[in-house]
A = this chain, B = another copy of it.
Amino acid sequence: MAQIYERVALIGLGLIAGSMAHAMKRHGLAAHVAGYARSEETRKAAAEIGFVDSVHATAIEAVKDADLIVLAVPVGAMGAVAEEIGPHLKPGATVTDVGSVKQAVIDAVGPHLPEGVHFVPSHPMAGTEHSGPYSGFATLFENRWWLLTPIEGTDEGAIARLRALYEGFGANVDTMEAGHHDLVLAVVSHTPHLIAYTMVGVADHLRRVSQSEVIKYSATGFRDFTRIAASDPTMWRDVFLTNKDATLDILGRFTEELFVLQRAIRMGDGDHLHEYFTRTRAIRRGIIEAGQDTDAPDFGRTRKG
């Protein structure tokens, strides 16, 4: 594939940035990838793994002469990073971020970027429950959605170039208004994560069922929840704090629905339960047809035994 950026700076070197670096190398999409992370341990790891061409001790050094700057830090840290690097950005450079919340990032980052620098917020809808510099891999974004939430009036050329990079990773790129993005994500990702965290927390607290039994007998349902609940705590804290309104809205609807089902259980209303459970099957079929998942039983999880 053709090179798209001369010099890319990654601010933050965790799962997403690391995977971007691996993918840029594999597909020859950037001539030089510079990296910065706050923790020295992470910087050392990135240098050792070798997915960046240069590692820098400060974000300011890392962004020097960069054509594309990727903010890949927790959403709550984006504003401070933007403030720090703002004065050191090359005119004409593009800044993007990979945060899971978009309006809060636009509000926090936008004001710190100088005139002549293009800001194109984005969100790769891909990830695993692992984090840190060792968790990335080149194929993370293949066949996954990468949403752009550009601000009106942004340079079309800068948007198209960033889109080309993400398509070079194998991602499907789509554009969306930032506020709408945050609501969609509250439904398909943020609230489900909070619920999974909660369920795992309940199991953890429960005294009558020993923790070893919970672990020993974790069946499919709960096992999936624990995987979700093992995700990076800092990233998720920031998601909930910065996508507060949409998350609280969806949570309110969730508890409403849950109480209706709870009442049906208490009253022994089997018809209501059956009808509800039948309806939820349809959305699953839709997801399989849309190619977001495999129909193989148990996710095609590799069997031991």
Residue A143 interfacial (CB < 8 Å): yes
Residues of B within 8 A of A128 (CB): 220, 297-298
Residue A1 interfacial (CB < 8 Å): no
Residue A91 interfacial (CB < 8 Å): no
Q: Check A255–B253 contact: CB distance below 8 A.
A: no
Could you name 30 residue pairs across A and B whose Cβ atoms are closer than 8 Å? A125-B219, A127-B220, A128-B298, A130-B297, A139-B303, A188-B203, A188-B218, A188-B222, A191-B199, A193-B221, A194-B258, A195-B195, A195-B258, A201-B276, A202-B250, A211-B286, A218-B293, A223-B287, A223-B292, A224-B227, A226-B280, A226-B287, A230-B285, A233-B277, A233-B278, A237-B270, A238-B270, A244-B265, A247-B265, A299-B299
Q: What are the interface flags for A224-252 relative to B under an 8 Å C-beta threshold, 1 for contact and 0 otherwise?
A: 11111111011011101100100110110
Residue A206 interfacial (CB < 8 Å): yes
Q: Check B139–A223 contact: CB distance below 8 A.
A: no
Given contacts A194-B261, A198-B261, A199-B254, 17 further A-B contacts (CB under 8 A): A135-B297, A139-B303, A143-B305, A184-B213, A184-B217, A188-B217, A194-B258, A195-B195, A198-B258, A211-B286, A215-B292, A216-B292, A218-B293, A233-B274, A244-B268, A299-B301, A300-B301
Q: Check B215–A244 contact: CB distance below 8 A.
A: no
Residue of B nearest to A15 (CB): B297
Residues of B within 8 A of A183 (CB): 208-209
Residues of B within 8 A of A215 (CB): 283, 286-287, 290, 292
Please report the C-alpha to C-alpha distance between residue A119 and residue B241 in the assembled complex, in whole angstroms. Answer: 54
Please report the C-alpha to C-alpha distance between residue A302 and residue B147 in the assembled complex, in whole angstroms. Answer: 23
Q: How many copies does the complex hold?
A: 2
Residue positions of A touching B, CB distance < 8 A: 76, 125, 127-130, 135, 137, 139, 142-143, 145, 147, 170, 183-185, 187-206, 208-209, 211-231, 233-234, 236-238, 240-241, 244, 247-248, 250-251, 253-255, 257-258, 261-262, 265-266, 268, 270, 273-274, 276-287, 290-294, 296-305
- The 8 A-B pairs with the shortest beta carbon distances in the complex, nearest first, are A142-B305, A128-B297, A192-B221, A233-B277, A230-B284, A229-B280, A188-B222, A143-B305
Q: Choose among B209, B226, B253 the residue that contacts A202 (Cβ–Cβ < 8 A).
A: B253
Residues of B within 8 A of A201 (CB): 257, 276, 279-280
Residue of B nearest to A266 (CB): B248
**Which one of A224, A279, A303 has the greatest number of beta carbons of chain B within 10 Å?**
A224
Please report the C-alpha to C-alpha distance between residue A199 and residue B247 in the assembled complex, in whole angstroms. Answer: 13
Q: Check A287–B218 contact: CB distance below 8 A.
A: yes
Residues of B within 8 A of A244 (CB): 265-266, 268
Residues of B within 8 A of A279 (CB): 201, 204
Please report the C-alpha to C-alpha distance between residue A139 and residue B305 in the assembled complex, in whole angstroms. Answer: 8
Residues of B within 8 A of A190 (CB): 221
